Amino acid sequence: MCCEHVGGAQPSVQRSPHPLTRAPVDADLQPAGSLPHAPRIKRPRLQVVKRLNFRSEEMEELPLPDSPRIDVTPPPSPEDLAELWDHEASDAAADVGLTRASAAARNPVLRRPPILEDFVHVTSTEGVRAYLVLRADPVATGVQSPLLHVPWRGGGQLDLLGVSFASLKEQVHGERRERLLQEAQRLSDTLRSLGSGEEEAAQPVGAPEEEPADGQDASTHCLWVDEFAPRHYTELLSDDFTNRCLLKWLKLWDLVVFGHERPSRKPRPSVEPARVSREAHDDRSPEAFRTRIEAATQMESVLGAGGKPNCLVIDEIDGAPVVGSLMPGILNRKGPQEAEPQGPAVPSGGGRRRRAEGALLMRPIICICNDQFAPSLRQLKQQAFLLHFPPTLPSRLVQRLQEVSLRQGMRTDPGVLAALCEKTDNDIRACINTLQFLYSRGQREVSVRDVQATRVGLKDQRRGLFSVWQEVFQLPRAQRRRVGQDPALPADTLLLGDGDAGSLTSASQRFYRVLHAAASAGEHEKVVQGLFDNFLRLRLRDSSLGAVCAALDWLAFDDLLAGAAHHSQSFQLLRYPPFLPVAFHVLFASGHTPRIIFPSSQQEAQNRMSQMRNLIQTLVSGIAPAMRSRATPQALLLDALCLLLDILAPKLRPVSTQLYSTREKQQLASLVGTMLAYSLTYRQERTPDGQYIYRLEPNVEELCRFPELPARKPLTYQAKQLIAREIEPERDFFGRVVVRSTAAPSAGDTALEQDSVERLMGTAVGRSEVWFRFNEGVSNAVRRRLYIRDLL
Amino acid sequence: MVQIVVSSARAGGLAEWVLMELQGEIEARYSTGLAGNLLGDLHYTTEGTPVLIVGHHILYGKIIHLEKPFAVLVKHTPGDQYCDELGRETGTRYLVTALIKDKILFKTRPKPIITNVPKKV
């Protein structure tokens, strides 16, 4: 049904102000005097949806068979409406019904309510009431406007919900019914699987009672991991000793926190679980971190229920490097600080606590990290009490998993759970997630096969470098047939048979194992460097060094691959480098491995190379231009430098230079000249043990010193001193050679001998024939006698 | 009565000389004496200050306009002079050859000129 709306008039539905409320169009709207007609059927509510179209510009052309005496499209303005009604009034002489009908067909806006059709009434702003005819919409979309694309939702519908409220309610009821039915069904399945098979037909009656109890619906309930997070001391997974250590440490805080020692209770049944605010913050910036701590600590008694003091737990503190270094600073501030008690520790490698020094910190802070050797935690370590959490015992884990599966209604046996623990490497979360996943897939009984075959529940791990190296160089001790359990094995091998797969040998297992380890290590470069540094320290089996050659070939290959991959950007080549550790494993793995050292040779070599480069660069930049053209760094280094150093070390008598013969003086002068040309000099330096030595600067002797060859016999200290003294006056502050001219001072003096003016100028300045002697004082009181006869 | 006649040397204008006054003595380096040797250089700065370079000394002076100008007289003794029209024996006559209206006075202590400054002290 639809109706058109006359623009400008206010629509109002009879008897209710809200446009969405259902207002039945019923019989009492008929004005008196009209023909009584049969009572109409109460239409279903859904249909009286007011699809009010306010778009006055899109008007509908009624398909009229006859005489469009007046324009059928309703006028857009009230004035026109009045005009229309005048037209309408002129029709009044005609047959009422017919005219009305046809008029209604022509013009759905009426002045009097129609008899036969449905209508709604509309009141204009002036108070004039019009009646709009409702028509059945054949298309039933409710959209008649030619412009279907209306920016409103529902294509022209004004209603906010799109459907009526009753229909919404019905929908909700329907959904709830359906959900109840589903849960009932699932419950009956569970009960059936547990062996109690008395109820064949799961009654929906029974379902709602049990529904809220257990939270069987995995989709709406939380994860099992959260649900089975330990709340009691007995539910902790770490070993007893560690737990007691932690408790004891916390107890130590009694004095500070409570001001007195609390009476010790026999084994504490629960770690205080109050107010573990589960907000996970990911504030990496120092400011945010500081405000977070302050916020947690300042809100002391407001937050605590029952007035229990808080204990701050910071997890993954090694992840935020800024934070880790800020902690000591923050914690050494004055003022009370608080923390929240930690939930029971789920071990993940390492844990540590922090206990402040001094009386500044009033509440314990517990920091959890995975890698206690992270550099950002170095400062913190000095002030903290470290507690290392050993990895979980499988037996304990199995026990816990049994409890979980019992609670959830899954059938497992310890062997299966043990296999699961082994597969996930004793990770509690992975185990519980795997169980939940299997459960949600409908499995209520877990067998070894399921555990082996499922590939979910595995954490994405990054193996540490040392573990990778260990894997490569050490033969695995227990050569168990773990065919289906190894995630490293490719998928097709898992499909081979069941039980013992005879085709997969232990060598292949090792192959894939090492491959997987190498591929999952993050930094291939570092792995290779570690292998390179360590592979010669192993005990080699063959004496022919063939294995070493093969290993070196592999290293060269790896280098080529990396170079090619990055040079031509064909990164598909990077599929091959992980095979290098496998090759090393095959070549070098033995039962006994020496301690593996962290690789440093690359770094050292790089440093040395850059140092030498700098030396050469300094030398080359100081060479005088005349020699520079023949002294490229390459040529200098390869050809000239060693010999140059030999030239610079002649035999010089350790006496004063005045006593030298001319030949010796010449020798010395040429030596000095050479050194000046290459801008070398000897500089006195103090060694760490207090001795003074003369060192060549720049010290290019380093470049020519080879560790295996015998060192060159150096010049004596006196000789170097002598040479240094000779060189020194020739160099200015910057080390440049001073161009020294002879004693003639002025520039014009040297050249232009033929010009007499210049010559005279030079004479005047430096070599004048007269001298001037200045007389101090005044001489106006000097008198002399003068006789007239002298004038005559 | 002693009469000494001072007359102008020629009819035209007289030369204008400038007097240089030094507060000191000039000595000869060699034993040849001062005669014929170059004394030094006289320069003027842009402001007009005279600068005298003598040997390795430099003097700054100033130009002073003489309120009582000098005249340069050359003595002529009667022995080789012509007699005047009266036939009397002329006495010693002085001829003015130049006038001096300005002098350059160097009265400040001279500064030494150092031409070879060693680069390293």
Average pLDDT of span A173-183: 92
Q: Would you call B6 an interface residue with chain A, using a CB distance cutoff of 8 Å?
A: no
The residue-averaged pLDDT of A690-711 equals 83
pLDDT surpassing 60 at residue B47: yes
Would you call A772 and B109 a contact, using CB atoms and an 8 Å cutoff?
no
How many angstroms separate the CA atoms of A321 and A326, rounded?
9
Q: What is the pLDDT of residue A12?
A: 46
Name the range with the highest mean pLDDT among A34-48, A99-113, A495-509, B63-77. Answer: B63-77
Give the per-residue pLDDT at A326: 65
For residue B53, the distance in angstroms to the closest alpha carbon of chain A comes to 7
How far apart are alpha carbons A380 and A339 in whole angstroms? 17
- Per-residue pLDDT reduced to its tens digit, A5-20: 444 444 444 444 454 4
What mean pLDDT value characterizes chain A?
Answer: 70
Q: Which of A273-277, A312-316, B87-91 has the highest mean pLDDT?
A: A312-316
What pLDDT shows up at residue A719? 87
Mean pLDDT of A567-589: 90
The reply to whether B78 touches chain A by the CB within 8 Å rule is no
Residue A323: predicted pLDDT: 58
Which residues are A121's β-sheet partners? A131
Residue A552 confidence (pLDDT) above 60 = yes
pLDDT of residue A563: 93
A284 within 8 A of A322, measured Cβ to Cβ = yes
Is the peptide bond between A698 and the residue preceding it cis, with omega within 30 degrees of 0?
A: yes
Summarised one tens digit per residue, pLDDT across range A318-348 is: 766 665 556 666 666 543 333 333 333 333 4
C-alpha to C-alpha distance for A512 and A500, rounded to whole angstroms: 17
Nearest in space to A215 (alpha carbons), one of A397, A412, A409: A409
| pLDDT higher than 60, residue A57 | no
Contact (Cβ atoms closer than 8 angstroms) between residue A237 and residue A243: no
Q: According to the model, what pLDDT value does residue B45 have?
A: 93
- Report long-range pairs for A778-785 (Cβ below 8 Å, ≥24 apart): A779/B23
One-letter amino acid identity for A562?
A
Decide if A770 and B109 are in contact by the 8 Å CB cutoff. no
The pairing of strands B93-106 and B15-22 is parallel
What pLDDT does residue A772 have? 85
Asked if the Cβ–Cβ distance from B24 to A772 is below 8 Å, we say yes
Rounded distance, CA A649 to CA A254, Å?
77
pLDDT at residue A759 is higher than 80: no
pLDDT of residue A68: 44
**What is the mean pLDDT of the segment spanning B44-61?**
90
Whether the per-residue pLDDT at A745 is higher than 70: the answer is no
Is A780's Cβ below 8 Å from some Cβ in B? no
Nearest to B26 among A760, A770, A779 (CB): A770
Would the CB atoms of B115 and A766 count as touching at under 8 Å?
A: yes
B113 vs A: CB within 8 A: yes
> Tens of pLDDT along A105-130?
566 678 888 888 788 888 888 888 88
CA distance B41 to chain A (A): 7
Q: What average pLDDT does range B87-109 have in this prediction?
A: 82
Predicted confidence (pLDDT) at residue B119 exceeds the cutoff of 90: no
Q: Which of B55, B75, B110 is the closest to A768 by Cβ?
A: B55
- Residue A90 is predicted with a pLDDT of 45
Tell me which of B41, B92, B109 to substitute to probe the interface with A (most A C-beta atoms closer than 10 Å). Answer: B41
The residue among A739, A770, A791 with the most chain B CBs within 10 A of its CB, best to mutate, is A770
Contact B30 A764 (CB under 8 A): no
Q: What is the nearest CA distance from A763 to chain B, expressed in angstroms?
A: 8
pLDDT band at A784 (very low <50, low <70, confident <90, very high): confident
Whether residue A33 is predicted with pLDDT greater than 90 in this model: the reply is: no
Per-residue pLDDT at A139:
59
How many residues comprise chain A?
A: 792
Mean pLDDT for A576-605 is: 87
CB contact under 8 A, A729 and B4: no
% of chain A residues with pLDDT over 90: 8
Q: What are phi and psi of A760, to 5 degrees?
A: -65, -35
Task: Identify the band that residue A411 occupies on the pLDDT scale cut at 50, 70 and 90.
Answer: confident
Shortest CA distance from A748: residue in chain B: B115
- Specify whether the CB–CB gap between A401 and A433 falls below 8 A: no
Determine the pLDDT at residue A11: 47
Overall average pLDDT of the A708-731 stretch: 84
B28–A769: do the CB atoms touch at under 8 Å? yes
Contacts of A729 in chain B (CB under 8 A): 120
pLDDT of A203 > 50? The answer is: no
- Shortest alpha-carbon distance between residue A754 and chain B (Å): 18
Give the pLDDT confidence score for residue A553 in this predicted structure.
95
pLDDT of A619 > 80? The answer is yes
Tokens of A780: 């106006």
Within 8 A of B34 by CB-CB distance, chain A residues are 770
- The amino acid sitting at A743 is A
Position A455 confidence tier, pLDDT thresholds 50, 70, 90? low
For A372, the 3-state DSSP assignment is: coil
How confident is the model at residue A325, as a pLDDT? 59
Give the chain A residue nearest B22 (alpha carbons): A774
Query: Which residues touch A105 (CB under 8 Å, ≥6 apart)?
Result: A62, A64
Chain B: give the shortest CA distance to residue A765, in Å.
5
Minimal-distance CA residue of chain B relative to A728: B120
Instruction: Report the percent of chain A where pLDDT is more than 70.
Output: 59
Give the model's pLDDT for residue A744: 44
Interface touch B38/A768, C-beta < 8 Å: yes
* A57 and chain B in contact, CB less than 8 A: no
A contact residues 756-775, partner B, Cβ 8 Å cutoff: 760-761, 763-766, 768-775
**What pLDDT score was predicted for residue A368?**
81
A742 interfacial to chain B (CB closer than 8 Å)? no
Q: Is the pLDDT of residue B49 over 70?
A: yes
Chain A CB within 8 Å of residue B53 CB: yes
d(CA A494, CA A455): 11
Per-residue confidence (pLDDT) for residue A74, from 0 to 100? 56
**Continuous segment of H or E residues that includes residue A527:** helix A524-534
pLDDT at residue B62 greater than cutoff 90: yes
pLDDT at residue B50, as a whole number = 93
- Residue A115 in tokens: 């008899």
In this prediction, residue A564 carries a pLDDT of 93
Confidence check: pLDDT of A655 > 70: yes
Q: Residue B64: pLDDT band by 50, 70, 90 thresholds?
A: very high
Read off the pLDDT of residues A362-405 as tens digits, 9 standing for 90 and up. 677 787 877 777 777 777 777 778 888 877 788 888 888 888 88
**A690, A694, A702, A711, A726 from A721: Cα distances, Å:** 18, 7, 20, 21, 9
Q: Is the pLDDT of residue A94 over 70?
A: no
Is pLDDT above 60 for B23? yes
Chain B partners of A769 at a C-beta cutoff of 8 Å? 28-30, 32, 37-38
